[in-house]
Structure 1
Amino acid sequence: MVILRQSSALTKPTSVKLENNAYTGVVIAIHPDEEESEELIDAIKTMVYDASAYLYTATKKRAYFEEVTILVPDTWEDKPEYRSPKNATFEGADVIVAPRNPRFAPEPDLPPVPHTKHYEGCGGQSIHVHFTSHFMLDSMTELYYGNRGRVFVHEWGHYRWGLFNEYADEIADVDNAQNFYFSLDEEIWKPTRCSDGFVAYNLVFDNGRYRYCNGDQYIGYEDGCVSIPATSQPDVTASIMSGYTSIPEIVDFCDEDVAPAQRHNQEAPTNTQGFVALRATGK
């Protein structure tokens, strides 16, 4: 992994490429407002190493990270191992580590949720992935979100392939934010997610604690009811875009014409097309 020092270069960095199953040209840039921190650099390195192995498994050996560059602010102390940034800039980075965006991090005491800024649909590359130093360094991050490398692969699905979340996303996908939907195939109410075989508990937060929701799969559930997966899932391996990357068994993107453990849930009210995007775009 190469570490560069930011300068006033005017052009964007080399585009990310996927050749011989290897991603190269990926730039992770640290915002100038971030305090100088060797720990932050080490955390980014660990995240990328973990993400590469997870991505390789999730894409059926089609992709991994081979060349990733960390761009540090020019206000940081220069070091012998730092190289010239050439055309790499913060504005052109694929991933940024920057102060939190209140829209995606309404709780200042919790590690902010990473997010990907994108305007294109499925198959279109996004603007960048946004992590914060709080997320990268807080010891509680993995308790809330699981391994950072796994989270990065989830965000890479957004960034590189334009995938959407496969859950009721009330921040980034308001139009499709339904915790449950009525299945016309089975004529029951089901949780919005992919794949379809999760072991889960339908709960609502009430008076400071969770309780089981009123209602059932035949008549529907009360407002505020959410379906929370169990920490172990014997029957599913997908999907990474469901946001449950902390569950050990979740190692796949949803796909079509595969076993039920990984099969895309076509009925769920989400916009994603799962692993189909990688095969279709080849990027």
Structure 2
Amino acid sequence: NIFILFVYIFISEVMSVGSMIVFKLQGNGYDGLLVAINPRVPEDQKLLANIKEMITEASFYLFNATQRRVYFQNIKILIPATWKANGYGKPQHESYEKAEVIVAAPYWKHGDEPYTLQYGECGNVGKYIHFTPNFLVNDYLIDVYGSRGRVFVHEWAHLRWGVFDEYNNEKPFYITGQNQVKVTRCTSDLAGIYVCEKKSCTEGNCVINQLTGLFKEGCAFIPERTQTAKSSIMYMQSLSSVSIITEK
């Protein structure tokens, strides 16, 4: 019974400022999570269906990733007033500005990549998760980011627990105590290959910078799609072996 996700849909009358909506943990289930669709998003029933499907999948994944501790019990979806009513209820205190998850046009910095707005330090809750309509309805993006349910749990960890990604695009490599160059990743047992795509390469191989001891710019670590080593959801949620949330 724990995986029956109850979805309540409300049609927004105005983008009013309501009282703060706070999701709660009731027993082991998150209750009252609010997903709001921006008023400028055109009506799309596939979008609505995929939101439900995404969070249903996320509930299973979160339950397993937290060693059967928590899941999503019910959510509320706030849709634009321009959409057909279809028997949806009217909001009480729910508003777009108070949503934990928003569906809106891309922000220029991120494009269709999902992200969580985080102001604070590690451990501080985030402000909201942002998905684009394109991410939610176009399946080709699943090949890029992984399944939507897994992506949701990755972003949820940012929002709820204030954790950060366990990779570093600015410093993708480090030197071990044995003076070996390794890629920044969790876990170090993940298999993959080093690929160089820029002029610093020698016959396609990554080259060491003699000053830093690290690979020169243009070298990247490409993990194998199929893995056996268990890894954290905050590394690359698209990998098959990513199935745990690292404990504090």
TM-score of the two chains, using structure 1 as the length reference: 0.79
Identity of aligned residues (%): 33
Query: Using the alignment, how far apart are the partners of 2:20 and 2:47 within structure 1?
Result: 22
Q: Does the 8 Å CA contact 1:179/1:225 hold for their aligned counterparts?
A: no
Query: Which of 28, 34, 44 pairs up with 1:37?
Result: 44
Matches of 2:74 and 2:147 in 1, distance apart? Answer: 21
Task: Please state if 1:251 is matched with 2:243.
Answer: yes
Q: Is the 8 A contact 1:29 1:97 kept in 2?
A: yes
Report the 3-state secondary structure (helix = DSSP H, G, I; strand = E; otherwise coil) of the residue aligned with 2:50: helix
Runs of 5+ in structure 1 lacking a partner?
Answer: 106-111, 170-176, 255-274, 277-283
Instruction: Tell me how far 1:222 sits from its aligned partner.
Output: 1.5
Deviation sequence 1:87-112 (CA, Å, 0-9, x none):
1111100000000011012xxxxxx1
Q: Which residue of 1 aligns with 2:180?
A: 188
In structure 2, the residue matched to 1:179 is 172
Render the CA deviation track for 1:236-264: whole Å, top value 9, x for unaligned: 2111101x21211111123xxxxxxxxxx
Conserved 8 A contact 1:7-1:89? no
The yes-or-no answer on 1:238 pairing with 2:231 is: yes
State whether structure 2 residue 155 is matched by structure 1 residue 155: yes
Partner-residue secondary structure (3-state), 2:244:
coil
* 1:13 CA drift (Å): 4.5
CA deviation profile, 1:110-144 (whole Å, cap 9, x unmatched): xx110000111222111100000000011201111
Q: 1:23 offset after TM fit, Å? A: 0.4
Query: Alignment partner for residue 90 of structure 1, among 82, 96, 109?
Result: 96
The answer to whether the 8 A contact 1:71-1:88 is kept is: yes
The structural deviation recorded for 1:178 is: 0.4
Alignment of 1:41-56 (within 5 A): 41-56=48-63
Q: How does 1:4-153 map to 2 (within 5 A)?
A: 4-8=10-14, 9-80=16-87, 82-105=88-111, 112-153=112-153
Q: Secondary structure at the match of 1:25?
A: strand
Q: 1:268 maps to what in 2?
A: none
Deviation of the 1:219 alpha carbon: 4.0
Alignment partners' CA distance in 1, 2:204 and 2:130: 34
Q: Distance in 2 between matches of 1:60 and 1:53?
A: 11
Deviation at 1:183, TM superposition (A): 2.4
Deviations, residues 180-236 of structure 1 (Å, cap 9, x unaligned): 01223x3322111112211011112238xx9432239x94312121111111112x2
Whole-Å Cα distance in 1 between the matches of residues 153 and 196 of structure 2? 29
Give the deviation of 1:17 after TM superposition.
Answer: 1.0
The alpha carbon displacement at 1:161 in A equals 0.7
Q: 1:77 to 1:182 in 2, by over 3 A?
A: same
Q: Which amino acid aligns with 1:179?
A: P
Aligned residues: 237
* Contact 1:200 1:227 (8 Å CA) reproduced: yes
Stretches (4+) displaced over 6 A: none
CA-CA distance at 1:160 after TM superposition? 0.6
Whichever residue aligns with residue 225 of structure 1, its letter is C
**Given residue 87 of structure 1, which amino acid in structure 2 is its aligned partner?**
H
CA distance in 2, matches of 1:245, 1:251: 8
- CA–CA distance in structure 1, aligned partners of residues 176 and 198 of structure 2: 27
TM-score (norm 2): 0.90
Q: Distance in 2 between matches of 1:120 and 1:206?
A: 36
